[in-house]
């Protein structure tokens, strides 16, 4: 396999996809509205077990200091859903999954908390 090639649908680590870019804009808007104090793409890497890690798409700190982990999804794989559930049971952060809502259905983001 060519070292420069990636699996279909996967981007190099640290690279945002289109949905993550749109959500980054949403988070930036929330900073300007005074709802969050800080965020960082792939800012945390959580150890779930030996050789098993979960990296949330965005680490987010609210203005009251509450830490949240936001996962941006177009669809869920079984592995991703298991990892976020395990992380939510082990770490003292709020875990939130966001999914884009189609414009024909009103737009915005749907939220699922773990």
**Sequence spans of domains, the chain:** 18-113
Q: State the pLDDT at residue 27.
A: 98
pLDDT band at 10 (very low <50, low <70, confident <90, very high): low
- DSSP assigned state of 62: E
Residue for token pair 């991703």: 80
User: 98-107: b or e for each residue (b if 16 or more CB lie within 10 Å)?
Assistant: bbbeeeeeee
Q: What is the average pLDDT across 56-71? A: 98
- Written as six digits, the tokens of 57 are 């798409």
pLDDT band at 6 (very low <50, low <70, confident <90, very high): very low
Percent of the chain with pLDDT over 90: 83
Average pLDDT on 61-76 reads 95
Multiple choice CATH, 18-113, 2.60.40, 3.90.320, 3.40.1350, 1.10.490: 3.40.1350
Residues 6+ apart with CB under 8 A from 104: none
Token pair, residue 105, equals 């259905």
């Amino acid at each position: 396999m060519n070292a420069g090639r990636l699996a279909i649908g996967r981007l190099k680590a640290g690279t945002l996809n289109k949905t993550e870019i749109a959500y980054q804009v949403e988070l930036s808007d929330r900073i300007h509205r005074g709802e969050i104090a800080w965020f960082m793409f792939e800012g945390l890497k959580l150890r779930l077990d030996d050789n098993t890690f979960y990296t949330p798409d965005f680490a987010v700190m609210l203005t009251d200091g509450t830490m949240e982990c936001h996962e941006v999804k177009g669809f869920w794989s079984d592995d991703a859903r298991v990892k976020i559930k395990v992380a939510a049971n082990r770490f003292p952060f709020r875990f939130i999954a966001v999914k884009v809502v189609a414009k024909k259905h009103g737009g915005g983001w749907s939220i699922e908390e773990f």
